[in-house]
Amino acid sequence: MTEQNEYFPANMSPQWRASVEALVDFFHFSAPENRPWYCPIAGGSSQSLNLLLRSLSHTHEPDEEGGGIPEQQYNIILTRGSHISVYNALLTTPLRPYYTLPGSHTLTNLPLPDSVESVAKAVKKVWQENKIVNFLLLMGTTYDGFLINLEPIRKWMQTDEFREKNKGLAPPIFLDLAWSAKSIAMKVCEGAFTKQMQHCDGWLTSIHKTLPSSFTSSILVFHHKYARGIAKDFFTRFNSSLNATWQRSCSTSFRPWMFQELGMLGYAFNPKSTWRKLWEADLVRIKEFQEILKRGFETFGDAVVLLCDEHIQQYPSISAMCPWRINIYFDAENLGFSGIEFASRLEQAGIVVVEKATQFTVLALPPIGFSRTFSEIADLEVFAQQWNDVLKDLSHLEPTELQFVPTATPAPIIAKVPSEAFKDARMMISLEDSLGRTAGNAIAPYPPGVPIIASGEIISPAHVAAIKSAVSNHILFKTKLYFPADALVFSGVDDIKVEVLI
């Protein structure tokens, strides 16, 4: 059994404890030795990720019969492009992150081929230099097409050096946070309820052609309302069809799992659920919603690309496949506004919740399709009117020359484990005075994005320059992201304050 320690809540319920232990067993005992896992994460909220990282940061004692994997825990290898939820999750675990890359994709989603191609080499370098063994690689939310790079990693894992170091240990795990719970639930449900698997085939095709056959793969779906409301017989059909899809093209072992934060590991759902009817009704609303978005952008021509189903082949982003999510690419150089300004206006109008915004992209979710209860769903006509009002105001802006923010900061120097730095005594000082100090909290663009500085990192001149450049281009920042109610918004360069360790 997993030993309880300070990193588990003191009031942890038996159900939650059982879920954690089941998750540890899932990773430690479900795959052959030295066979790495590829695991897309659905619904990667900070709370869900906290639970997952806690479960992997504890030693696992042998069972009564002598089985099990003694005295081991996973080392985190973190891509610097990870979303703020990853950093928040690390604040409650004892894990020390090892970074594979400089801060590529820090403030833009534009592809950086040199950085993407270097991931495999960077993982190996971190593994060798830090003398770590079994590891957990957290992929960022901005690495579309990342799977292409798993093949060189697989080859490296077959070397004698790697096998010798990891002998008898659980296999490495690759957690891909680029997947959306909504995306997976929507596409899977749509395919199953129409008794067609084309939709499932569609999003599987984007990964099974490049996923090395020696990887074991599973989907973790965190407590999503569509997923938890679906009847048990649906999962039976889905599971058999899904495995058949994968087996036609590769020998990858694929096992979909549902993991509920405060529930059980498995598919035991009420077969009398009414969610199917609600889902079918939603399909009609989804089509209406996408038409509203398309019509609103007609005045901008090709300068704004709204990603819907027909764009999937051109922009192979899994996140774009969520029909309710607003996923937009901006040609900001030929517009009078950036994605940041557009997102800010949408939030001010109160019609979306912005998940991420850069100068070139916006990911947002309207309160239409995924409110906590269906009775709270907003009226599509009201949304359409507010949406068009915002776009009309923006269409009158004249194109202006934008000074684009640097997309990379240097490889972080970790002075302290994030969770330890976050618990230490801290003080707020000016950005200029923070040079060379250890950050006590993260600094990230607002709406939420990828942090430029995270807890426990040493603040460098490049970090300071990147923040100044961003603020001068009207990009907002927030600190104290772990407690949003206490967040600070910087309105100008002179206003920037940074939390550092005393």
Give me the phi and psi of 44, to 5 degrees please: -80, 60
Contact of 2 with 60, CB cutoff 8 Å: yes
Contact of 463 with 454, CB cutoff 8 Å: no
Task: List, in order, residues 6 or more apart from 33 with CB less than 8 Å away.
Answer: 168, 169, 171
Instruction: Tell me the CATH number of domain 275-395, given options 3.30.110.60, 3.40.640.10, 2.40.70.10, 3.90.1150.150.
Output: 3.90.1150.150
The answer to whether the peptide bond before residue 172 is cis (omega within 30 degrees of 0) is no
User: In 3D, which of 329, 278, 269, 321 has the Cα closest to residue 303?
Assistant: 329
Q: Where in the chain are all domains bearing CATH 3.90.1150.150?
A: 275-395
pTM, whole model, 2 decimals? 0.58
Name the token pair of 240.
């058999």
Q: Between vectors from CA 499 to CA 435 and to CA 140, what angle results, nearest 5°?
A: 85
Contact of 135 with 432, CB cutoff 8 Å: no
The rounded distance, in Å, linking the Cα atoms of 486 and 475 is 19
Name the token pair of 464.
């300071």
Q: Where in the chain are all domains bearing CATH 3.90.100.10?
A: 418-501
The rounded distance, in Å, linking the Cα atoms of 205 and 186 is 16
| Tally of CB atoms within 10 A around 123 | 24
The rounded distance, in Å, linking the Cα atoms of 218 and 459 is 37
Q: Which helix (H) or strand (E) covers residue 364, if one does?
A: strand 361-365
Sequential pLDDT tens for the chain (502 residues):
334 434 444 555 554 455 555 555 555 544 444 455 555 554 444 555 665 666 665 544 444 444 433 345 667 777 655 656 667 667 766 667 776 654 433 333 333 334 444 556 767 777 777 777 667 666 554 333 333 345 566 677 777 887 777 776 666 766 655 444 334 433 333 333 333 233 333 334 444 444 444 444 444 444 333 333 333 333 444 444 444 433 333 333 333 333 332 222 222 223 333 434 444 455 566 677 777 777 777 777 766 766 554 433 333 333 333 455 676 767 666 677 777 778 777 777 777 766 666 666 676 766 554 333 333 345 677 777 888 888 888 777 766 665 555 545 566 777 887 878 878 888 888 888 888 999 887 777 665 556 777 788 888 887 888 777 777 766 666 555 444 444 455 656 677 778 888 8
The rounded distance, in Å, linking the Cα atoms of 354 and 407 is 20
CATH homologous superfamily, domain 418-501: Orn/Lys/Arg decarboxylase, C-terminal domain (3.90.100.10)
The alpha helices in 112-258, defined as continuous H runs, are 113-117, 119-129, 150-157, 160-165, 181-193, 198-208, 225-229, 232-249
